[in-house]
Structures are given as C-alpha cells and as structure tokens.
Structure 1
C-alpha cells in the first residue's frame, strides 16, 4: 500500500490533527506490512497560494510555458503526481475559524485542475482520481460532530465534496474534538484513536 499523508497544521508535534493522522497511518502500516508512506507537510515551507502565474500555467499548453510558468506549475504537478501514486490518503485537517487551514485550501487549489484531475463531459463533471481510500483526521477545540455547533463545521462537508468531485468518494472522517474543553480535552485524542478501525481496508 502506498500512503500519502497530508499535514496542514503549523503546530508541529503539538498538533492534534497531525497526531491523529499519525495514528491512522500507524494502524494502516501495521495492518499491511511493507506499506510505503510519503509525508507532505504543507506548512514547511508553506504551500503556495494561487497567484496569476499559477493560473496562467494551468491554462497554457506545456510546450508554451515560460520559465516562470514552468516553475509555478511544478508545485501542482508534484502534488498531483503524489496524489495519483497513492492508494490511501490521510489528510490532517484542523478546524480553523470553521474552515480548513489556508495551506490545505492552497493544496486543493493546486490539485483541482480541469483536464488533469477532473473533466467536463456531456453528462456533467467527472472526477479522474479514482480508486482511492481517504481518511480525514479532523481536530477541533469544540465539538462539531453533533449539537448546535455542527452547523459551523465547514471542514468535513467541504473536503468530502471537493474530494468527491475529483473522484475520491470513499472518505472516512475521524475527529479529535473538544481539545479546548476542560471535561473532554484530557481524553480527546485517546478516544479519537480508539475509534479508528482499518480492518478490511482494500484499495
């Protein structure tokens, strides 16, 4: 199994989303010996936000790229190659102000490319990144899986929607939540890890 792990929190080892993602990867590699793991840390250095030159490179034929456009499109090409090469993707996603971190949004902006990872057909859009298993390790200071705050979670719905648009429809969300709440924080990570079951995972 080839596993791609995406880190999007700048908090390093203190990050709950990264710790949960690490635990998911550990369970996956324990279940299938010989698995290969590629880690893409979007925070070091920060994955570039889209600028005009990136968009120019996306919509300019490769043979006509200027040196600047060739360099600009490199990040996107590398990210897409990693994505397509992986069997399983584990995305560490902290909930920041109800949404994803800016570097994770940038990564998505670079992997979502018409004609490369999706295409438009007569019957509608078609995702071209298929046959993948995706785990989302979502961390939040409050509880967003249920209750009144659930309506403010724009991380899980967004990621499931955009990944599905690209063809990745087998998506599991695992949450470490309540990390800022006195009565939940001490056992939040332990509870989240215990809830991860990779038995029978096939890709």
Structure 2
C-alpha cells in the first residue's frame, strides 16, 4: 500500500499546513513504518505552468506527430494522475493563497485531470485527509466571510470528481504573530491552532486504522 502526500505551501519550515500534515502522518509512521509514502511538494518543486496547455493540445495531435514537448507534457500528466490512482490513501496540505488555490495546486489538478481523464474518479473510495490553512479569519460574521474560494473547490474536486472519502482539517488565523494588525486575535488563534492540531491527530489515527484494516484484509 502507498500513501500519497502532497504539500502546496511556499513557506518552507514555517508552513502551518505542512505542520498539520505531519501530525496526520505521525500515527501512520508509528503503526505502519513500512508503509511507503510518495511525496510531491508543489511549493518547493512546482510543476511547469505551461504543461497542462501543452498536454491538452497534444491530445488532439496523432501520437506519431507529437513534438517532444507534447510527449513530455502528456507523460507528466499521466504520471500525476497515476500517483493518485495508485495510492491507497492521501494526505494533502493545501493552504489558501489570495482567496483561492495557488497556481501550483491548480497546475497539479489540471494535469491530473488531463492525464487521468475528465470526470474519472482517481481516488474512488480512498481515504483522503485535506489540510487547509488560512492566514486570516473567514468564519460567519467576519469581514472575509465567503472569501475562501479554495476549500469548496477542493471539496468538489476531491470528493465529487475524484470520489475520495474525504476528511477536512482546517486552521485559520495563521498570520497572528506575523501581522501586527492581528495581535488582538492572539488568544483566539491559540485556541484555533489547538483544535486544528487535535483534529489532525484524530484524522491521522483514523487513517492509520483504515490502512491497518486494509492491510489485514489483503493478508
């Protein structure tokens, strides 16, 4: 069995989403140490921004007439789709940037769709934990309520298009302590962080339970 982990943060070691994903992964590493983990870090190693458009165009060209660039783009798209299709579970750490998904994450999703086929459920029935982090507050009654366009989109792609059995862990106010204008929210941010960490640990335990059960059934 294989666990696919995708990170989308550009924050490196300061990444709140990656820290939560680490907590999700801890029970798996402890209880299933031999379970292979395939990692793709979209923030650190972004996919080519033009690969999707090239792959789409290549699909309309007879195979023997495709350029090397078109063949490479299609090969990359098929590889990205295969990582999803071949995984037994996935942990995705995809923070909110500029009120939506980052260009790195969108490129990854677009390539998976062209590589696997539009509407093909690449994660059909598989357990997937999505970690979403947001710098500000987007809850009911806040000035930015409704401005998170990433999480609904990711839910739609992962659960409804790709068929994942989806669990979402969310953390807000990650810019408290970074942006002085948010200092008044320090106590609330600490509570939100603790809740998110507890949810990440619980999601990790549930995912490890599921993988152990699958391993036992296959034995």
Answering whether residue 163 of structure 2 is matched by residue 168 of structure 1, we say yes
For structure 2, which runs of at least 5 residues remain unmatched after alignment?
177-185, 215-219
1:70 matched to 2:71? The reply is yes
Q: Per the alignment, do residues 35 and 65 of structure 1 end up closer, same or farther by CA in structure 2, a change over 3 Å counting?
A: same
2:95 and 2:134 in contact (8 A); partners too:
yes
Q: Would you say the 8 A contact 1:117–1:129 is kept in 2?
A: no
Contiguous gaps of at least 5 residues in structure 1: 120-125
- Cα deviations across residues 102-155 of structure 1 (Å, max 9, x unaligned)? 1001100100128x3445xxxxxx535413211111111123354434422212
SS of alignment partner, residue 141 of structure 1: coil
Structure showing the higher helix proportion among its residues: 2
Answer whether contact 2:99 2:149 (CA < 8 A) is retained: yes
Q: Residue 26 of structure 1: CA displacement?
A: 1.7
- Higher Cα Rg, which structure: 2
Q: Are 2:82 and 1:88 aligned? A: no
Aligned length: 196
Following superposition, the deviation at residue 187 of structure 1 comes to 5.3
User: CA, structure 1 residues 74+145, in 2 after alignment: closer, same or farther (shift >3 Å)?
Assistant: farther
Aligned to 1:21: 21
Shift, 1:158, TM fit: 0.3
1:122 counterpart residue number:
none
SS of the residue corresponding to residue 183 of structure 1 reads helix
TM-score (norm 1): 0.83
Distance 2:102 2:92 in 1: 12
Q: In structure 2, the residue corresponding to 1:21 is in which secondary structure?
A: helix
Q: Give the Cα–Cα distance (whole angstroms) in 1 for the partners of residues 25 and 13 of structure 2.
A: 15
1:147/1:168 CA distance change after superposition, 3 Å: farther
- Give the 3 Å change call, closer, same or farther, for CA 59–150 of structure 1 in structure 2: farther
CA distance in 1, matches of 2:171, 2:104: 20
Counterpart of 1:134?
Answer: 128
Q: CA, structure 1 residues 111+180, in 2 after alignment: closer, same or farther (shift >3 Å)?
A: same
- Residue 43 of structure 2 aligns to a residue whose secondary structure is coil
Q: Equivalent residue for 2:42?
A: 42
TM-score by length of 2: 0.78
